[in-house]
């Protein structure tokens, strides 16, 4: 079967379940999940130059500078013959979204769909605190969680409108059984 290029973005606040759902949808549709958070955490773990630079930023719950993120994205896209990807946690700023558009245009591609997962704030905080206990992520403490939610509202939420205007945005509730959310996503994407 011919594998056409496909570019999906998972958007939503920290704790909305983007990573979990992106992994499940990637598996079902044969896409590669590109998670900037996972890539950055690997750099921090391995103590690379980039890791050393971003560790304090991530621990505060702030955003890593756009140029560093875009260098990662360019590198990841270069590895693929035919981009069939889900971006998880990228783009997070208007500048990143515009740079992604330019990058895709150079490849003759565009964003096919954006999946926005909505979850009430109290539920997000509860989930992030639970993840903090279970996984011990350095940025999952109460103060940083608050900061990450603020940064999301200020920097990332405007992207909802950016993609909605283009008619590529699909908004879904990110609460309830994980399987049902996955099925809903696949359905809105026309994959079921």
Give whichever of 53 and 192 is closer to ligand AMP, judged by the CB atom. Answer: 53
User: Which of residues 12 and 83 has its CB atom nearest to ligand AMP in the complex?
Assistant: 12
Ranked by CB distance to ligand AMP, the top (closest) residue is 37
Among 121, 69, 77, 124, CA closest to 93: 69
In the complex, the smallest distance separating the C-beta of residue 146 from ligand AMP, rounded to whole angstroms, is 12
With 0-12 / 13-18 / 19 or more C-beta atoms within 10 angstroms meaning exposed / middle / buried, residue 16 is buried
Half-sphere CA count of 93, side-chain side, radius 13 A:
13
How is residue 167 written in tokens? 């008619």
Strand partners, 169: 114
Between 17 and 83, name the residue whose CB sits nearer to ligand AMP: 17
Binding positions for ligand AMP, rule: CB under 6 A? 14, 36-37, 40, 57-58, 61-64, 69, 89-90, 92, 96, 139, 148
For the bound state, the minimum distance from the C-beta of residue 1 to ligand AMP, rounded and expressed in Å, comes to 32
**Catalytic center residues:** 18, 92, 131, 137, 148
């Amino acid at each position: 079967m011919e594998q056409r290029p496909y570019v999906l973005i998972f958007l939503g606040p920290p704790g909305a379940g983007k990573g979990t759902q992106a992994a499940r949808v990637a598996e079902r549709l044969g896409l590669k999940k590109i998670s900037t958070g996972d890539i950055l955490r690997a750099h921090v773990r391995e103590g690379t130059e980039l890791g050393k630079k971003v560790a304090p930023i991530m621990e505060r719950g702030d955003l890593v500078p756009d140029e560093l993120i875009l260098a990662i994205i360019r590198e990841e896209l270069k590895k693929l013959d035919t981009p069939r990807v889900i971006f998880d946690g990228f783009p997070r700023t208007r500048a990143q979204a515009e740079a992604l558009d330019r990058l895709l245009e150079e490849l003759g591609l565009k964003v096919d769909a954006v999946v926005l997962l909505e979850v009430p704030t109290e539920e997000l905080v509860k989930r992030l605190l639970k993840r903090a206990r279970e996984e011990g992520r350095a940025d999952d403490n109460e103060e940083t969680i608050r900061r990450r939610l603020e940064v999301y509202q200020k920097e990332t939420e405007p992207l909802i409108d950016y993609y909605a205007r283009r008619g590529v945005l699909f908004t879904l509730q990110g609460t309830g059984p994980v399987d049902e959310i996955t099925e809903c996503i696949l359905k809105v994407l026309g994959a079921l």
